[in-house]
Chains A and B, each alone.
Chain A
Amino acid sequence: MREVAARVVVPGRARGPALISADPISFLGDVDIRSGRIVGELESVANASLAGTVLFFPASMGSAGAWRFIYQLHVHGTHPLALVPLGMPDPSVVQGAMLAGIPVLTEPALPPEDWLRNGDPVEVDGEAGVIRLLREEGLP
């Protein structure tokens, strides 16, 4: 089992399949609240659903309304279970995650594409400050 250290922004624990975006995300505009689907022009995750995933993304961008959309995803039960931005995200994103009770870890010691594929089961541990890959390496 592989563990990668990360900085804890919002404590908490979650398990879910990894969803890796190569594109920065504007939660206002790029995400449909009711379905949890990506509807913006994000090539790497076009049409993917955020619901129940551990979402890796390079950065947040656009409207400071991000908090409201993260909170609304939670209200509708379509939210990602954890957020892993690669750098410190906008305060609006962190505030939305705190309101919604969604753990946030950032600055993972290894970029996700080096050790994860979409759908890989991962655990975000916001107590220990690590992200764990929950399958044996080398297995499909």
Chain B
Amino acid sequence: MELTAEDQALLDGAKGPAAARAMADLVRLGEAYDAPDMVDIGYAHIHSGMALYQGDVELMTDLADAGAKVIVPSSANIANADLVNWQATGAPEALFRLQSRAADAHRAMGSASAFTCTPYWAGHWPTWNTHMVSIESTVTIFCNSVLGARSNRDGFFATYAALTGRYPRFGYHLEANRRGTHLVRIEAPLETISDWSCLGFHVGAEVGGGVPVFEPPPRRPSLDELDALGAALATSGGVSMFILPGLTPPFADVAAAFDGPPPPALSVGASDVAEVYARFTTGPGDAVDLVHVGCPHASMEEMRLYAGLLDGKRVHSDIELWVTTSRTVRRMAEEAGLVQSMERAGARVISDTCPMSCHFARTVSPDPALGVVPPPMRAIVLDSAKQAKYVRDMIRCDTLLTSAEGAIASAVAGRFVPREAGP
């Protein structure tokens, strides 16, 4: 791989030992993928340091202790506790204390402590052709597809890129890989944000690591629907990028989105969408412990939607309703009076974490000294295929998948309310 004089100086320790180690590992990564050289990155969405995994917070505190600093705008991914109001989730205080050490490390390194899977709703909005890195698959696909930035599905090395401002040129950083591989025709009526989530889950399983191109849908999807689509595509498949010609950059029509003639279209009908709802609807609808909305972390518009659905209602006394978002959007929603109104209705507004990312998960490995005990959980009502998949895998309880409207109605009724199926 061709390195610049600045790259070589970083390797040689000009910016300290943490940056030197980061650069060495980025060079190894580039060699693994036959990258010709490195690119300058303009944004990094990096690891939070997760208190539910042994030695994981230390990955971040060790860097901070070594004097590491991020040198590009950086945001931290979702964490294992709500650091704004840790009692809201019933987390043990020791878990909150450990998670707070990761937050301190981020402050010391100069990264914005967003602690969210949707940093774009919190103001981190990379633009067209900005090279970037992301440790969160939802961020990778949103930024590649909706914003036209360039990102791979990274792991911990996203942090290394933040410390050096550099990343090897391979994968979705290369123009040649940003073309369609599959053509999708939407024949299902898509009424709600969750319908787009189920569409994404179905298509992701079909295309694996490909780049699906969607024929023009009947109406322009909202940003929240595009977010739900991408998050689910990245969950059931390994999708990094989708293309809606004319709606997402840069291709104006289907033909331009392919390098060569488009393949035959894969049709997605109402039954395919219904099948995803059915797959994640298990167990009886009258044994529900938790209703969750806000996966990926809610946007301001979604906060407005939830608050509207809860207006004049009251959450059933047998059920908890969780609305998860970023701390930034939570503050915006407080300014607008939405948090207060949802809390008056009995909802819990939670930031920095979510059900699958908090101490409810059973596939984690916390230090026994933290006293983490996942509470018993019969079933969770939710409106996101991504959350449903990982709740099943990590919390290992029943899921009941519906729309946001159905989820809020479930919380009020105290039992599962399925989505209203489209025409």
Contacts and interface: CB of A to CB of B under 8 A. Distances in A.
B is a partner of A: yes
Instruction: Place the interface of chain B in its size category.
Output: 35 or more
B125 interface: no
Nearest to A88: B33
Interface in A68-99: 68, 71-72, 75-76, 88, 90-96, 98-99
Contacts of A39: 363, 393
Contacts of A119: none
A30 B29 CA distance: 25
Interface in A25-42: 26, 28-34, 39-40
A29 B153 contact: no
Nearest to A90: B153
Interface stretch (B49-57, B323-331, B409-417): B49-57
A31 B363 CA distance: 8
Nearest to B33: A88
9 closest A-B pairs by beta carbon, nearest first, are A67-B155, A29-B393, A92-B155, A95-B155, A64-B137, A64-B153, A95-B157, A61-B238, A9-B32
B137 A10 contact: no
Interface in A87-117: 88, 90-96, 98-99, 104
27 contacts: A9-B32, A10-B32, A30-B393, A32-B363, A33-B364, A33-B365, A39-B363, A59-B208, A62-B238, A62-B389, A63-B137, A63-B234, A64-B153, A64-B154, A65-B155, A67-B155, A68-B155, A72-B53, A72-B56, A75-B53, A76-B365, A91-B152, A92-B153, A92-B155, A98-B29, A98-B157, A99-B155
Interface of A: 9-10, 24, 26, 28-34, 39-40, 59-68, 71-72, 75-76, 88, 90-96, 98-99, 104
Nearest to B54: A75
Interface of A is mostly: mixed
Contacts of A59: 208-209, 238
Contacts of A72: 53-54, 56, 365
A64 B209 contact: no
B343 interface: no
B156 A71 contact: yes
Interface of B: 25, 28-29, 32-33, 47, 50, 53-56, 134-137, 140, 152-157, 171, 208-209, 234-238, 363-365, 389-390, 393-394
Nearest to A74: B55
B394 A64 contact: no
A28 B356 CA distance: 11
B135 A64 contact: yes
Contacts of A34: 365
Given A61-B237, A63-B235, A68 B156 contact: yes
Contacts of B50: 68
Contact of A91 (B54, B154, B236, B363): B154
Contact of B235 (A62, A76, A88): A62
Contacts of A76: 54, 365
